[in-house]
Amino acid sequence: MAVDRMKQRVKTARRRSAASTRWLERQLNDPYVHKARAEGYRSRAAYKLIELDERFGFLKGVRNVVDLGAAPGGWCQVVVNKHPKAQIVAIDLLDMDELPNTTILKMDFLSDEAPQALIGALGAKADIVLSDMAANTVGHQQTDHLRTMALVEAGLDFATGILADGGTYVAKVLAGGADKDLVAALKRNFQSVKHAKPPASRKDSSEWYVIAQGFKAAKASEPGT
């Protein structure tokens, strides 16, 4: 994606750390940041979902959508733009501005009340559960991976209770993808399980996405699954 501007450099301000300066410089020179502003998306993350959908086609015909870790709302915007009449329920601990046909729950997805609140707000089986959730990093690779994968597992547990037959679960994972046990659980419950890193993910980022399509509702309802 070409950007018609010279690369911008940011001078280190007296009260700005070197890390903050690097982040700001990266933002100023990120073509996806500029494109998001030009096209009205709330975050560059919108293009990750757009690119994944272009490859896997999971947003085709969706009517009922759950978005976990939705703020600031870029993924919801993609769904609204593609399917203006789709019903979306979004959840996040952070504030999020309103969007058409979108119910926003400001709460912790890991709280005991969250799953029922989401199910009640949607009022129907979901065609897709989206999750761009990631745990706050502590700088220790193994710990960060475990914390993020715990969110993926919690999202999967929720998805198996709300997805309609044939539905899709899309979730952020980290480098190396989902671990063995999680992949096994995904394959038990979905016809297809793939990993992908969309072009909009920064090259130095460890994030990948798991795309599980073709939910087996009958299989998920069997005892012990």
The pLDDT value recorded for residue 1 is 41
pLDDT tens-place values along the chain, 225 residues long: 433 443 445 445 555 555 554 544 455 456 888 888 989 899 999 999 999 999 999 999 999 999 999 999 999 999 999 999 999 999 999 999 999 999 999 999 999 999 999 999 999 999 999 999 987 665 656 666 778 888 999 999 999 999 999 999 999 987 665 678 899 999 999 999 999 999 998 787 888 999 999 999 977 666 555
Binding residues for S-adenosyl-L-methionine, as ranges, are 73, 75, 92, 108, 132
| DSSP secondary structure letters along 135-194 | PPP-S-HHHHHHHHHHHHHHHHHHHHHHEEEEEEEEEEEETT-S-HHHHHHHHHHEEEEE
Beta strands in the chain (DSSP E): 64-68, 87-92, 102-106, 126-131, 163-174, 190-196, 207-215
- What is the maximal distance between C-alpha atoms in the chain? 61
Q: State the distance between the two ends of the chain, measured CA to CA, in whole angstroms.
A: 44
Structure tokens at 14: 């007296």
pLDDT of residue 225: 53
Q: CA 42, 111, 95: angle at the middle one, nearest 5?
A: 25
Helix, strand, or coil here: 129? strand
List, as residue ranges, the binding site.
Answer: 73, 75, 92, 108, 132
Residue numbers annotated as active site:
172
Nearest to 79 by CA among 104, 95, 58, 109: 58
Which CATH superfamily does the domain covering 46-220 fall into?
Answer: Vaccinia Virus protein VP39 (3.40.50.150)
Helix (H, G, I), strand (E, B) or coil at 116: helix
**pTM summary value:** 0.84
Q: Give the pLDDT confidence score for residue 105 in this predicted structure.
A: 98
